[in-house]
Structure formats: structure tokens, C-alpha cells
Structure 1
Amino acid sequence: MDLGVIGQAAGMFAVTNVDDLVILALFFAHAGAAWKVVAGQYLGFAGILAVAVLGALGASLLPEAFRPWLGLIPLALGLKAAWSVWRGADSDDERAAAPGVFAVAGVTLANGGDNIGVYVPVFTVTDSLWLYMVVFLVLVGVWCLAGWFLASRQVVAKALARWGHVALPVVLILIGLLVLFSG
């Protein structure tokens, strides 16, 4: 097992899911049954992974010299998110109370555009796709635990809601530049 890849996968998961952690905390705070939130999160994230893997497989048909240019996707997403932060736009909409499995899955999938935009270029150039997927799926469980924990710690949840939107653009831009210059 390559610890470097595990670290990269864990870091990439964490930075692309900061916003999801806040949403999970909100879901857990309003959920009647925590298992619905966990099941919905796994279902939605499985959809994100499926789209990203299919996108990477399609992108792998591209000439090798073109693949690093896929870094423009997370770079553009990061710049767009930075522009929203700079303008003061609030893109986080709080979801309704008592979510079901499919509601959580739908929100997770809909909120996963930045994940897909980052994962496709990285999945295209990595030789350790399976390791990324295993790390991501393990971390979905960790994220669910963290979301549940945050749901009962309002001070922490407020801090994430306040600063998570600032960290996300920076990290997306860095990932985009890393993919661009990795080729």
C-alpha cells in the first residue's frame, strides 16, 4: 500500500467535502433516524464516484499530453468559488428537516459537482484508482461520524459554515494547478 497515495486521497476527500460536512451536520441535527443520513450519504457519494470514474475512463481515451489540461476543471471551479466568496454570494442553502435516504443522496450528488470536477482529472492520471476509492468510501463513514458530532457542537458547526467556503476555493485552485503541472 502506498501511504503517499492514501494521504493524497484523504486530503483530496477532505477539501472537496468541507461543504458537505456542514450539510451533514445540518441533516443530523434534523434527522429522525441517523441511519437514513448515513445511507443517503453513501448512496449519493457512490453516484459521485461512478460519474467520476466514468469521466476518467472517457478522459483516459485522450492523448496523454492533453490529460494534465484537465486540471483546468478544478482550477475553474476554484476560481468560480473564489469569485462567489469575493462577491459575498451565499451558495449554501439549508435543506429541509427530517431528511430521508433519497433526499440525503440527492443533496450529496447535487453538491458533488466540485468533487467530480476534481476527481476526474486525478483519476485520469493515477495508477491507484482503487486505493482512492477505498480511502474515499472509508472517509464517507468518518465524515458521517464527524457530521453527527458537529450536529451536537453548535460552535464548531458555525465556524465551519463561516470559513469552509473560504478554504474550498483555495484548495480547488491548488489541486487544479497540481494536475496541470503534473504532466
Structure 2
Amino acid sequence: MNFGVLGQAVVLFAATNIDDLLVLAVFFAQDAGHRGATRTIALGQYLGFLVILAVSVAAAFGATFLPDGAVPYLGLLPLALGVKAAVEAWRRRDDLDQENARRGPKILEVAVITFANGGDNIGAYVPVFATAGVGGMTEYAVVFLVLMAGWLAAGRFFATRAAVARALARWGHILLPVVLIGLGLLILVEGGAFGL
């Protein structure tokens, strides 16, 4: 492994995925106590990230699956999931046993949010991959996939700190819709969707 590529891959991954830490912490807090929660979140995160990598690699070779103008509209995915989560939280507001009523995200939901949140990553990865060649792309992909495990561990770590866990347990059912809606709006606005 080329240490120059390794360093660049670490910096590129961290810079383009820092916002995922909050989303992962909320997912882990929401799923606390549910059997198989870590596996579900990890599989969804890896699935969404693998799609990001596949699109980036294909685009680096000249195939474009998404026109540049379509990327900002990926913000509609977390926005819709956030609205859905808000409606579910509102419907359950009177549940006496809110803890048991809460359900964590499914693998596909995590994957969709990961892909939508990482849609702008594609723009950063394509030029790097295009100049790195096949060997370099492989090295970047391997480093990214290893770092994703660290990202998952960090998200779980933050969600299990006593103060954070208490806050997320109390407010997580509200925080998840807020984070998803905010993420969706941020993607739409930063991308200039709808002339915003």
C-alpha cells in the first residue's frame, strides 16, 4: 500500500463523512436494546456506502448514472424519511411505554440515508478516482471500507456515553426526524435544488 494514498484516503474519508457520525449515533441510540441493532445499522451503512463507491468508480471510468443536476435532489430521501419518522413519533406521543414502542431503522432505510447523505461525496471521489487509476481506486476503496468500521464504532461509542445516551433516550424519537429533515434540507439547499 502506498502511504501517500493511505494518508489522502484517510483525510478524504474523514472530510466527506464527518456528518455521518451524528446520524450513526442517533441510529445506535434509537436501536439501543434491540437485538441485532448493530448488525442492522452496519449492514445498512455498508450497503449505502458501497453504492456510493460503485457510482464513483463507474463515473471515474466515464459512466454517469446521475446527472450533476440530480445530486441535490437526493436530499428528498432523508427529508421524506424524516417526515415519516416525525409522523410516527407524533402518533406515539401518548404511548406510556415509548421505549418499547420505538423501533429502529431497517437496513434499507440506513442504506438510503447513507447514500443520500453521501451523494455529495461522489463529486469528491470521482476526480480522485479518475486520476488514481485502477490500483489507486482499489486502495482508496479498501481504506474507505476499513475506516467505515471505525466510523460505526465511533457512532456507537458516542451513543453509549452516559450523558449522550440519556439525552438520546429521552429525545432520540424527536432528534431522528429533526436530523433527517435537516440533512435533507441541507442537501437540497447546498446543491441549489429548486433554485434555493
TM-score normalised to structure 2 length: 0.60
Gaps of 5+ in 1: 60-72, 81-91, 166-183
Distance across 2 between alignment mates of 1:100 and 1:139:
22
2:104 aligned to which of 98, 106, 115: 98
Q: Give the RMSD, CA atoms, in angstroms.
A: 2.8
Is residue 121 of structure 1 aligned with residue 111 of structure 2?
no
Matched residue type, 2:131: V
What percent of counterpart residues are identical? 50
Gaps of 5+ in 2: 73-77, 86-102, 169-178, 184-196
1:131 aligned to which of 139, 144, 147: 139
Tell me how far 1:151 sits from its aligned partner. Answer: 1.0
The count of residues paired between Structure 1 and Structure 2 equals 130
Task: Name 2:186's counterpart in structure 1.
Answer: none
Distance across 1 between alignment mates of 2:47 and 2:119:
15
SS at 2:105's partner residue?
coil
Choose 1 or 2 for highest CA Rg.
2
Task: Name 1:28's counterpart in structure 2.
Answer: 28
Task: Name 1:69's counterpart in structure 2.
Answer: none
Task: Name 1:176's counterpart in structure 2.
Answer: none
Distance across 2 between alignment mates of 1:115 and 1:29:
25
Is residue 58 of structure 1 aligned with residue 62 of structure 2?
yes
Matched residue type, 1:3: F
Tell me how far 1:124 sits from its aligned partner. Answer: 0.7
Task: Name 2:43's counterpart in structure 1.
Answer: 39
Which has the larger displacement, 26-35 or 8-17? Answer: 26-35
Task: Name 1:150's counterpart in structure 2.
Answer: 158
Deviation string, structure 1 residues 82-114 (Cα, Å, up to 9, x no partner): xxxxxxxxxx96954510111100100111111
Distance across 1 between alignment mates of 2:160 and 2:20:
16
Tell me how far 1:143 sits from its aligned partner. Answer: 0.5
Matched residue type, 1:25: A
TM-score normalised to structure 1 length: 0.64
Q: Which runs of 4+ in 1 moved over 4 A?
A: 92-95
Tell me how far 1:21 sits from its aligned partner. Answer: 1.2
